[in-house]
Chain A
């Protein structure tokens, strides 16, 4: 079985995001970029399935500008067999990303597609679900445990009410939650090895997909700030303050 893995590059989760004063965007110049944390988890899960003999090949997919190559090399160093770079300078919204994945599925015929549950830049949480709809296949979102046997994935999902278990016949789309696994660290020799792994480059337009601006962002604003409160010196003072506010 072949596994396709979504591997988006985003502003690193440790960066404190600043909104530009003129409201036209957030500051990304000189800011550290990393793999979307959920996508590292997706890749780790795919690698583990390959190590267990469930899959033979792990293929990374990145949709983005020309300089995405270095980012894809990191994923190859982590252990993916090869990468597909769909090149576009336009911002890619979830519906477009899902359409791109569907085109790649037609070509690659994977048994499983693993994406992050959300990209931590747009926080959309849509691409996997949209892809499953376009592909007309099962979706198992927010996965915290995946078992593959007998042509199906048994997936434990983190839902508001607890943990839900579903069976999804393969091929299927799985999206990862944080507790699915802990991604491995990249070792130096693997970085060398990754240099010779293949990266296919495809222009987004040549897939017959348009980078459509389905939603137009007209303004960016900083969130409303909570003002700094007061410090109390002991438990009695805290209880008094809460009683005064009618909270106890």
Chain B
């Protein structure tokens, strides 16, 4: 029987919703137990959140000052140690999971399955390659610890109401390196919904034309309660910060509504929105590839159409 350890992702003392998505993937393995591991400097609030996730058997915590920031070199040896006795170690395929989990896999001397989209068996999974242009079925060695990151857009978050799993402090006897040090996090904190978990996202591309013009995207997103995203071209041109990038090398998201405005629809961008519910494209070029995959398309100038949309909504 499988016993799964899910690594909690958190920031600012709050559990990231990607953790509950990883728990959903863990549940699909039909294991005997799913334990969540919280590594932090102060663990209580995060552990309390994790304990509420449906399907979680136990929450294990390691409170150490060194765990104040998610440094892979510091976290990985602790996770590798905690992994003893588990058949699977999972983390969300966010920048956090992508950074730390391969380091854990190498310490355990095993391969990693990246971006699990579906669970076909305890050691058999589907995952995307070539920017999602092919989906492969991979089989891992059933005698080795299975280490995998979970493509969050493929999994709903497990519900967080019914459960109250026990919380246990864990003491791990591991020496931690000091060769890697956190300096700062520059985060464009905003009151807007979070891009990765929002049900609606409005994204702008190079067609928006400038940083100033991007206000029109922000305003429209606020009007409909949406998060803001962007294409790589818009980020590269400095219209918006990099954490808004959607696509192969940005965020992979699955909102109910995705509106691509002034975005041509390069495959690397489309990779990030394949699982969106409804895709709306607004582009002045009727031949833009984005219309090939959009559920609803509207050809025209965004600077004319967005004000008209705002009017039609109110």
Known: A168-B180, A223-B132. A214 touches B274 (CB 8 A): no
* Interface pair A166/B181, CB less than 8 Å apart: yes
B134 touches A220 (CB 8 A): yes
Q: Is A138 an interface residue (CB 8 A)?
A: yes
Would you give the shortest CB distance from B10 to chain A, in whole angstroms?
A: 11
Q: Give chain A nearest CB distance to B15 CB in angstroms.
A: 14
* Whole-angstrom distance between the Cβ of B208 and the nearest chain A Cβ: 17
User: Are A228 and B249 touching (Cβ within 8 A)?
Assistant: no
Q: Which residues of chain B have C-beta atoms less than 8 A from A216's C-beta?
A: 138-139
How distant is the Cα of A141 from the Cα of B101 in the complex, in angstroms? Answer: 12
Do the beta carbons of A123 and B96 come within 8 Å of each other? no
* Closest Cβ–Cβ distance, residue A147 to chain B (whole Å): 11
When A and B form their complex, what is the total count of cross-chain residue pairs whose Cβ atoms lie within 8 Å? 251
* Whole-angstrom CA separation of A248 from B280 in the bound complex: 13
Pair A230/B256 contact, Cβ less than 8 Å: no
CB-based contact A136/B177 at 8 Å? yes
B242 is an interface residue with CB less than 8 A from chain A: yes
Query: By the criterion of a CB under 8 Å from any partner CB, how many residues of chain A are at the interface?
Result: 82
Contact with A along B118-153 (1 / 0, CB 8 A): 000000100011111111111111000000000000
Of listed A11, A117, A144, A219, residue having the most chain B CB within 10 A:
A219
Instruction: Name the contact of A142 in the complex, choosing from B99, B137, B187 (C-beta under 8 A).
Output: B99
**B32 within 8 A of partner (CB):** no
Residue of A nearest to B270 (CB): A226
| B residues with CB within 8 A of A | 11, 71-73, 76, 94-96, 98-107, 110-115, 124, 128-141, 177, 179-188, 196, 200, 224, 232, 235-236, 241-243, 248-249, 251, 256-257, 267-268, 274, 277-280, 291-300, 305, 308-309, 311-313
User: Which residues on the A side are within 8 Å of B296 (C-beta)?
Assistant: 229-232, 238, 241-242
B135 touches which one: A130, A133, A222 (CB < 8 A)? A222
A95 at the interface (CB under 8 A from B): yes
State which of B104, B112, B224, B243 has its C-beta within 8 Å of the C-beta of A159.
Answer: B243
Counting from the closest, the 6 A-B pairs by CB-CB distance are A214-B111, A162-B187, A235-B308, A129-B102, A133-B106, A229-B295
